[in-house]
Amino acid sequence: MNTSFFQQKFSEYYAKHRDSINVPEARSREYGAGVNGKIDFRHVSFPSNDALRDFLIQDAPLYASYSAARYERPAAKPMPNKGFVSADLVFDLDKTYAEEHPEKHGAAFCPHCLERARQDAARFYDEFLLKDYGFGKSDVAINFSGSKGYHFHIRTPAVQQLSSAARKELCDYAGALEVSPEKLVTKQAGALVGPSAASSGWSKKVFNYAQQFALTADTQAWRAMGAGSRTAKHAAQNNAELASRLERGDWSWKNLEKSFTALATEAIRKTRVELDAPVTFDLSRLIRIPNTLHGDSCLTAKVLQSLDAFAPDKDAVAFRGAIEVTPNKTLALEFGGTTFELEDGKTKELPLAAGLLLLRKGYAVLVGL
């Protein structure tokens, strides 16, 4: 693919939004960039944010990343020669959800996947970063990744010397890798005992899910959890009593033992958050510079003040205007609240942001080139 057209667009964008690029302690970071790939080269340093901005304008890479780590000599190679000083704690939520909505999934761009990613990101922020890990709202910087997910940066002094193993434990906890229904709901003296209102951590998460289910589940919902018809009806008719028992940690209810195990399993599955763990525990990894452009989508890795109602195809759009492209596949593109019906070989005018995305993903060619 001829990249000069895109690089010109990116250069113009960075010139116009120069001050939006602001890496904390920029001179201590290692940088990597790419045009044909996400990181064509690395082991680069800049003396200041101004120098970094000049590079983005003049060289116009399609991808730009920096290290969570700070170094004495960030441009040195190999890695041990850099002189590690400290490292921010970063998390990358980068997952597709196509299996959840195969009939609605968009191959080129999927707002449904992005909305699910936003929901998981908000849950990770609220339930894990703030409640379980104990960070304050001001400790966490959030940005859209520019593609499928979200990045979280914590730069407080307390995290700077965390080991790789400790960082991995945080990811494993969010992913519930050490959590199982059998550990949470157990038989004790003939009674089924499980999480209660007094529980904490994963036990409290499972309790919250189970109690909400008990309060609202109808007969059909209990049947879906494996309960027999009479037991399901009885549970649905006595939801307040059942929820009260759960609050005390009493999970005993005639003929519901298997259903409670299924309920705990579902609670874990729906509450866990899958993170790209190596981004967190590999201290040599580079991550996208916030507010730079993503070469796969031409969207902005936008810094966010809130995850509420954020829609990348509206709120992270970098380019305005229109463009004519010729699709090489017949497909429907849902972008910016509009569905565009595209026919293979038939030129169509699209919003510039949508057209650039199709071009970069290989679903269209530019008219006139």
Tokens of 244: 């009260």
The reported pLDDT for the residue numbered 104 is: 85
> Fold match between 4-175+274-315 and 181-271?
no
pLDDT at 240: 93
Backbone phi, psi, residue 77, to 5°: -140, 150
Average pLDDT over residues 341-358: 97
Best CA proximity match to 341, nearest among 115, 108, 99: 108
Contact, 115 vs 150, CB < 8 A?
Answer: no
Q: Sketch the domain layout of the chain as residue ranges.
A: 4-175+274-315, 181-271, 322-366
Tokens of 26: 């920029």
pLDDT, average across residues 345-368? 95
Q: Maximum CA pair distance of the chain?
A: 78
Contact in structure between 151 and 141 (CB atoms under 8 Å): no
What value does the mean pLDDT of the chain take? 96
Paired strand residues for 142: 152, 304
Residue-level pLDDT at 45: 99
Using alpha carbons only, what angle is made at residue 194 by residues 188 and 198, rounded to the nearest 5 degrees?
120
Six-digit token pair at 302? Answer: 């936008």
pLDDT in tens, 91-131: 999 988 988 888 889 989 999 999 999 999 999 999 999 99
The candidate with the shortest Cα–Cα distance to 335, out of 361, 307, 365, 314, is: 314
Q: What is the CATH number of domain 4-175+274-315?
A: 3.90.920.10
Res. 1 pLDDT band, cuts 50 70 90:
low
pLDDT band at 203 (very low <50, low <70, confident <90, very high): very high
The answer, yes or no, to whether residue 234 has pLDDT greater than 80, is: yes
Closest CA to 199 of 255, 160, 247, 142: 247
H or E element at residue 355: helix 352-360
122-159 tens-digit pLDDT: 999 999 999 999 999 999 999 999 999 999 999 999 99
Residue ranges of the alpha helices (H) in 218-329? 219-224, 229-237, 239-247, 257-271, 277-281, 312-315
pLDDT at 368 over 80: no
User: Looking at domain 181-271, which CATH architecture does it have?
Assistant: Orthogonal Bundle (1.10)
Contacts of 55 (CB under 8 A, 6+ apart): 33, 46
Show the DSSP H helices in 82-224 as ranges: 111-123, 164-174, 181-184, 201-216, 219-224
pTM: 0.94
Count of CB atoms within 10 A of residue 236's CB? 19
Q: What is the pLDDT of residue 369?
A: 62
CB 311 within 8 A of CB 111: yes
